[in-house]
Structure 1
C-alpha cells in the first residue's frame, strides 16, 4: 500500500517542486516591482494630498456665502476632490484597480493552480473504447482463370512488436489464402482498411487513398507456388488500425470477405466453389472478452472463431465485418491509478485558484484599500 501511494504521489511531488522553483523566481521579480509600485503610490498620495489642501484653501464661492448660518456650505469631500483630478484611460484605471491585488501570494497561488491543473489534464486517462473503421477484403479471379476449387481463408488480427533494431508496437492484419487456383496467374486481392497501413513483403501492392478515413490496396502477386499466399497489412499506430488499443480497452474490427469469379461474357455462369473463412485474434496481455461475437476458442494469447462457409460470388453473411471489444485487467488498474493522480492534481489546483481569487478580491475591496475594516 505504501509503495502504491508513493508511486501515485510521485508525479504530484515533481509538479509541486517545479512550481516552487517557478514561484521563487516570480516572487523575486514581484518583490522588485512591488517596491517600485510602493514608490509610485507614495508619489500619488503626495499629489492627492496637495490637491486636497489646495481645495481647502480656496475661498468660499458666492453660492456658499449666500447660505444661511443654520446650513453652512459643505466642506469639499475626498471623493469630490479626487473627481477634479484628471482621469487616465480606462485601461489605466483597470490596472490601478487590480494592482493592489497582484501580490506575490496571489501570483504563487495562481501559478500553482495553473500548473497542477495542467498536470491533472495530462494525467487524466482516456477510457473510451476505440472505434476502428470497417474494413473489407475481396479476392478476384479473371474470366480466363476462374476459381474452380475450394478456397480456404484465414483472417488474423495481431497485436505485437515489430522486429529489427527500432522495435515498436504495431497491429497487423494477415490474410492467408490457400487453394489450387492460386497457382495460376490472373487473380488479385483488393482491400479497404483504415488509413496509414503498409504492406509487408510484397512489391506488387499499390496503396491509394480511398476516402478520408480509409486506404485501399490492390495486390497482384501472380501465380504462387503451392497455391498458398499471405498478405500482411501493418499499422505502426496502435490507435489507427483495424485493431486499436487505448489504455485498457482493445477493439478488433475483422474485415468482411468475399470471393468473386468474373463472367467471361459467353452467357455461361462462372464456377461457384466453396469458400471457408476463419478468424483469429492474437493478443499480448491479460485481455478479457467484453462485447461482440464471443470467440469459440480462447487460449492464452489466441482467440479463434469457427470457420464460416459459403460459395464464390455469394455474399458470406456470416463472414461480414465484426468488431470485438476486450479489456486488460492490468491496464485497467493503471487507468484507475492515473485517475486518482489526476483527481489529486485537480483538487490542489481548485484549492489554489480559489485561494488566489479570494485573496485578490480581499485586497482590491475599496474599504480595504482605504484602510477601513479588517
Structure 2
C-alpha cells in the first residue's frame, strides 16, 4: 500500500464501523486505515474469533437490549470523526440515535446500487428525527439508465494481499483448468449445484477441476444440511466426470492458498448483495467470473478484467470455460487485467483516497 500526502488527514482520525460481524471485507479496510494512522474501532453484534481474522483489530461485541446503554456510551466515548453503520445490523437503530442531529458524523451503509434512493417517507422521517440520510455503498450497479442518488457515495471495500505478494502465483500452463467457488455450503441459494450441472455439460469434463470452499454454518435458518450433504455426495460420486473437492470452514488466513492455486473464481449465486470472494481473488491474478445480478459484478469490465455470467444460461458458461481452458494466452491476459484492477481501483490506497474525501466533505 502506498500512502500519499493527502492521507495525512487520516492520521489520528477516529473511524467507527458498526456491523453484524467482522466480515472479511472489513479486514483490508481496517488494515489500510490503521496503516494510515487512523484510530479504528469495530462494534459488532457478534464475533467469531475462529472464523474471523482479528490479527490487527479485535471487534467489540454488543448484544441488545442488555448492552444498550454500554453501546451508546461507547459511541459517545469514542466520538468518531466518521461512522459507517450497516443498515441491516441489529445495532443500527441505537447507533443512528447516538449520532442524532450531527453529534457524530454517520453514514448509512447498505449494499444497494448507487441508483437506489431512500424512500421519500423514510427520508423525511429520518430528517425530522435528526438521523442521517447520507449513505455509502460498495455497489456501483450495472444499469446505466438510472441516475446516481445524490446522497450516496460509492465506497467499494478494498482488497489486498494477505502477506507478501507473490510475483506470479498462477501457473497458466497447468492443466486442468482450476475453478474455485466460494460460498456457504449449506445454503442452496449459493448455486454450487447449478454450477456443477453447467460444468457437467462440457465436452471434456476432465479438462476442469472444481473446488468448493465455504462455511457449513446454518445461519439465519436459511441453511440446509441436505444441500451440503448433496454437494459432498456428488463430489464423492465424481459429479458426472468433473473432479470436485469440498473444503468446509476454511479460515480467512487459509484462503490465499486457494486463490493462488486456481485460475478462475466463479460466483454463481443469484442476487448476491455483494460477493467478495472473486474480488479478493483478483489480487492473486485469479480471474473473477461473477453472476451478473451480484453486486460485485459492477466492479468488472466484462471481457476485460473478468466475466459476468447468467447462471440461467449454462451453454454460455460452458462456452466461456471451454475457451479459457484452451486459450491460456487469453487466460493470462485476463489474469493480468484482474490483478491491475485489484491493485488500482480496488486497492487499499484508493480506499484511503475515498475515506479522506469523506472526512473533508461537510
TM-score band, normalised by shorter chain: under 0.3
TM-score, normalized by length of structure 1?
Answer: 0.19
- The structure where strand makes up a greater share of residues is 1
Q: Determine which structure has more spread, i.e. the larger CA radius of gyration.
A: 1
Indicate the structure whose relative CO is greater, using CA pairs within 8 Å and at least 6 residues apart. 1
